[in-house]
Structure 1
Amino acid sequence: MTEGIDQSTALTQQWLTEIQTLKQQLVEQQRDRHTAWESAQKWRKLYNTEAEQRRTDANLAQQAIASLKAEIHQLKGLETGILVDGKATTEAQQKIQQIQSIEDLQTKLIAIMKERDRLQQALKTEQENHAQTRQSLTTALGDAIDSLTRERNGE
């Protein structure tokens, strides 16, 4: 009979030990889950900050593009002889009337050609920068979509 009691006590002790081990594992799992949740929140915040920055950059790029388009439109107007501003037309006519000799005309023409070349180079550089920005933004958007897709799929 004492043998049955000893065996029963041993089984009870074994079960109590098992319950204690399971409780400890449960606490560890809850702590790990909490840590993972905090990490996910941190990454979500970083992602949202980055996304906001990308949106801001995209808006700034769109504004720059609009400004450049307006400047190109104005330059095309100058090139075709259509000056939008009447004051600019008057100023151009006054400058032409001030030219007294062929040498003055040649000097003025050379200066204008240099300015034109500089503006063309600036425009070309800006177009290249715009293309690079567009590529960067497209890549960043693709990366963001991929990350969001992976997050939603639970990867």
Structure 2
Amino acid sequence: MAQDLTQQWLEEIQALKRQLAQKQLDLNSAWESAEKWRKLYNTEAEQRRTDAHLFQQTIASLKTEIHKLQGIDTSILADGKATAAIQAEVKQIQAVEELQAKLITVTKERDRLLQAFKTEQENHAQTRKSLTTALGDAIDSLARERAEKSEV
């Protein structure tokens, strides 16, 4: 009878060892998943920051172009020859319609880029929300596994 009891205990210990090994595998898998999501989130965030920076540069470039079209070239103004430079630019324009057409084109492009930027910001916010939710789920899963492990 003592031998049967010993055999039962040994089988119970082996079962618990298998469960512990499986829980450890599950824990490692969850950590790897969390790390993957963290890396994806950071990559996406970096891409959004890069895109935002490029859009800001494009907007600044367009503002400069508009100023040039309006005859306000800041690089020329800085060297003290503003009046002559403005007069030269005005003389190059053949008609008011040319100036208006160019201004309309630049304004449309600026509006398109602003809309694209706004869309990118919304996409970034959605991605951040999705990745944060996934990361939270992974952390909750890990916490449950740890709680189960500590109960065993």
Normalised by the length of structure 2, the TM-score is 0.69
TM-aligned CA deviation for residue 78 of structure 1: 3.9
Equivalent of residue 128 in structure 2, options 141, 147, 150: 141
Residue 27 in 1 paired to residue 17 in 2?
yes
Report what 2:60 is aligned to. 70
TM-aligned CA deviation for residue 149 of structure 1: 3.6
Instruction: Encode CA deviations 1:68-96: one digit per residue, 9 max, x unaligned.
Output: 34234424534654331218965663354
Rg (Cα) greater in structure: 1
Residue 119 in 1 paired to residue 119 in 2?
no
Report what 1:12 is aligned to. 2
Q: How many residues align?
A: 138
Query: Which whole-Å CA distance do the structure 1 matches of 2:124 and 2:53 have between them?
Result: 15
Deviates more, 1:129-138 or 1:145-154: 145-154
Deviates more, 1:112-121 or 1:41-50: 112-121
Equivalent of residue 87 in structure 2, options 74, 93, 105: 93
* Cα RMSD (Å): 3.0
Q: Which runs of 5+ in 2 are unaligned?
A: 145-152
**Greater relative contact order (Cα < 8 A, sep 6+):** 2
Instruction: Encode CA deviations 1:37-68: one digit per residue, 9 max, x unaligned.
Output: 22122112212211221231232133124313
Q: Which amino acid aligns with 1:128?
A: Q
Query: Which whole-Å CA distance do the structure 1 matches of 2:41 and 2:105 have between them?
Result: 36
Query: Which whole-Å CA distance do the structure 1 matches of 2:102 and 2:136 have between them?
Result: 50
Identical-pair percentage: 9
Normalised by the length of structure 1, the TM-score is 0.68
Query: Which whole-Å CA distance do the structure 1 matches of 2:22 and 2:109 have between them?
Result: 56
